[in-house]
């Protein structure tokens, strides 16, 4: 059942709200072929914002989106980039294959068929290519596409390139970016400290993009949208907003559940919201429990204390609660941070998944 509060999929235009200011800002950047570094915590709607931007402007631009969260090697990055360029071509399959074959030096393009949807498509055949060859073919094609109309390339989870140690992807990107005309790059990420290091002074990408921080949705925007679909008071929307720590995904999840059950609800109040949250946490219990059991003993202690106290984690009284030493606490937090179970901003650790944090508060 599709509801006006999607939380697992990209919100289509009719269910997209509260980001008009950010959309206009991005439009002004790409209009002048400027580059953007878009940062926010996870689950705040970066990808949805970009996808809706692309939907509005794709008639005037060639738009390319790639998500590099799962890359392990530099070649993975190059393959995703090539396939992103390939999939950006719309219209007649034969014409698209012919066009891309002329743009690529080494890459072959072949038709695909999805038996479930019955749709035809195209994909780049990249198995035998090196990273340098993948990048050369990608940017040869980008430069040629940019002669036809302006190109926007969005790279999601961009901080992941920092994990590739044997190749300086940022330096290679800088080289190609300096050659480009009529191309805007949008770098999206959720790890502020890593992104800052990638764009810091003396780094290859220094001064190559304008920083843009995506803030939480405004309470008024959520309420004004919600009341179109639900008989809900502003006080309850604010309760959900604060309970979710302003996290877009959890807010949408709670509102989705209310919408699904609205015909059987007499009144939307705090008790109802609490019951719905409890249902959500129960549905995630096995998943979160398996993640927690994966932690070492000291990591479990550190995670539990972070969920419970959030701050002053190294106070002697707090450390004594779990009988953990200061060095062990710091080491465990560093390990959890490296595995992305926790995050850090302005010197403070936090659990980026609000539902996981609430589960830990209740269960641990």
Q: What is the CATH number of the domain that holds 43?
A: 3.40.50.300
Does residue 117 register a pLDDT over 80?
no
- 73 within domain boundaries: yes
Indicate the pTM of the whole model. 0.89
- 1 within domain boundaries: no
Same domain, 314 and 303: yes
Q: Is 155 in a helix, a strand, or coil?
A: strand
Q: Return the pLDDT at 332.
A: 96
Same domain, 141 and 241: no
- What is the pLDDT confidence band of residue 131, given thresholds at 50, 70 and 90? very high
- 264 within domain boundaries: yes
Q: Return the pLDDT at 216.
A: 94
Q: How far, in Å, are 142, 198, 207, 267, 314 from residue 177 at the CA level?
A: 11, 15, 12, 55, 44
Same domain, 49 and 186: yes
Four-CA torsion 280, 284, 289, 294, nearest 10 degrees: -140
Same domain, 123 and 172: yes
Long-range contacts of 194-198 (CB under 8 A, 24+ apart): 194/159, 194/162, 195/37, 195/39, 195/158, 195/159, 197/162, 198/158, 198/159, 198/161, 198/162, 198/170
Same domain, 229 and 240: yes
- What is the pLDDT confidence band of residue 191, given thresholds at 50, 70 and 90? confident
- 198 within domain boundaries: yes
Question: How does pLDDT run across 194-220, given as a tens digit for each residue?
Answer: 898 999 999 999 999 999 999 999 999
| Residue 232 CA neighbour count, 13 Å, CB half | 28
Does residue 142 register a pLDDT over 80?
yes
**Which residues make Cβ contacts (< 8 Å) with residue 325, sequence separation at least 6?**
319
Q: Distance between CA atoms of 288 and 285, rounded to whole angstroms?
A: 5
Q: Return the pLDDT at 344.
A: 87
- 2 within domain boundaries: no
Same domain, 204 and 119: yes
Q: Distance between CA atoms of 334 and 317, rounded to whole angstroms?
A: 21
Domain boundary among 213, 233, 257: 213
Same domain, 247 and 121: no
Domain boundary among 193, 213, 233: 213
| Residue 195 CA neighbour count, 13 Å, CB half | 25
Q: Distance between CA atoms of 344 and 351, rounded to whole angstroms?
A: 9
Residue 127 DSSP label: T
- 9 within domain boundaries: no
Expressed as residue numbers, the domain containing 240 is: 219-283
- 78 within domain boundaries: yes
- What is the pLDDT confidence band of residue 287, given thresholds at 50, 70 and 90? very high
Q: How far, in Å, are 231, 247, 261, 272, 284 from residue 278 at the CA level?
A: 21, 17, 15, 10, 10
Structure tokens at 17: 């709200």
Four-CA torsion 274, 275, 276, 281, nearest 10 degrees: 90
Same domain, 318 and 355: yes
Q: Return the pLDDT at 193.
A: 81
Q: Structurally, how many domains does the chain consist of?
A: 3
Same domain, 144 and 193: yes
CATH number of the domain at 328, please. 1.10.10
Question: How does pLDDT run across 101-116, given as a tens digit for each residue?
Answer: 888 888 888 888 888 8
In the block, tokens 């055949």 appear at: 125
- 272 within domain boundaries: yes
Q: Return the pLDDT at 41.
A: 85
Does residue 222 register a pLDDT over 70?
yes
Same domain, 65 and 186: yes
Average pLDDT for residues 304-331, to the nearest whole number? 93
CA geometry: angle at 270 spanning 269 and 273, to 5°? 95
Assess contact for 57 and 51: CB atoms under 8 A: no
Does residue 273 register a pLDDT over 70?
yes
Four-CA torsion 188, 13, 24, 256, nearest 10 degrees: -70
Same domain, 144 and 191: yes
Residue 206 DSSP label: T
Question: How does pLDDT run across 252-265, given as a tens digit for each residue?
Answer: 999 999 999 998 89
Does residue 1 register a pLDDT over 70?
no
- What is the pLDDT confidence band of residue 69, given thresholds at 50, 70 and 90? very high
Domain boundary among 232, 257, 283: 283
Same domain, 193 and 262: no
Long-range contacts of 214-221 (CB under 8 A, 24+ apart): 214/22, 214/38, 214/39, 214/40, 214/44, 214/45, 214/46, 214/49, 215/40, 216/44, 216/246, 216/247, 216/248, 217/18, 217/19, 217/45, 217/246, 217/248, 217/251, 218/18, 221/17, 221/18
**Taking the mean position of all CA atoms in its chain, how far away is CA 107?**
29
| Average pLDDT of the chain, as a whole number | 92
Instruction: Indicate if the alpha-carbon torsion angle 213, 216, 220, 221 is positive or negative.
Output: positive
């Amino acid at each position: 059942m599709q509801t006006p509060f999607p939380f697992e999929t990209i919100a289509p235009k009719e269910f997209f709200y509260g980001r008009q200011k950010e959309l206009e800002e991005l439009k002004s950047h790409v209009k002048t072929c400027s580059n953007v570094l878009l940062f926010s915590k996870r689950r705040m709607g970066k990808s949805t914002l970009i996808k809706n931007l692309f939907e509005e402007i794709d008639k005037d631009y060639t738009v390319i989106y790639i998500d590099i969260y799962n890359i392990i090697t530099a070649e993975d990055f190059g393959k995703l980039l090539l396939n992103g360029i390939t999939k950006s071509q719309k219209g007649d399959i034969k014409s698209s294959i012919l066009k891309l074959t002329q743009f690529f030096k080494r890459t072959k393009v072949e038709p695909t068929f999805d038996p479930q949807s019955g749709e035809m498509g195209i994909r780049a055949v990249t198995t035998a290519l090196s990273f340098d060859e993948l990048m050369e073919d990608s940017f040869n094609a980008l430069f040629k596409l940019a002669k036809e109309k302006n190109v926007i390339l969005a790279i999601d989870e961009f901080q992941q390139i920092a994990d590739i140690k044997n190749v300086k992807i940022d330096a290679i990107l800088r080289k190609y970016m300096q050659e480009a005309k009529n191309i805007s790059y949008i770098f999206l990420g959720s790890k502020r400290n890593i992104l800052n290091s990638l764009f810091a002074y003396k780094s290859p990408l220094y001064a190559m993009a304008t920083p843009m921080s995506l803030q939480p949705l405004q309470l008024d925007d959520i309420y004004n949208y919600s009341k179109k679909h639900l008989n809900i008071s502003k006080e309850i929307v604010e309760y959900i907003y604060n309970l979710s720590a302003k996290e877009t995904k959890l807010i949408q999840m709670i509102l989705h559940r209310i919408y699904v059950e609205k015909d059987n609800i007499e009144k939307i109040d705090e008790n109802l919201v609490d019951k719905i949250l409890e249902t959500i946490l129960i549905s995630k219990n096995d998943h979160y429990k398996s993640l927690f059991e994966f932690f070492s003993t000291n990591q479990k202690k550190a995670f539990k204390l972070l969920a419970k106290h959030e701050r002053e984690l190294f106070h002697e009284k707090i450390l004594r609660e779990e009988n953990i030493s200061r060095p062990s606490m710091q080491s465990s937090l560093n390990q959890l941070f490296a595995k992305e179970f926790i995050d850090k901003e302005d010197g403070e650790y936090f659990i980026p998944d609000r539902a996981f944090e609430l589960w830990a508060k209740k269960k641990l």
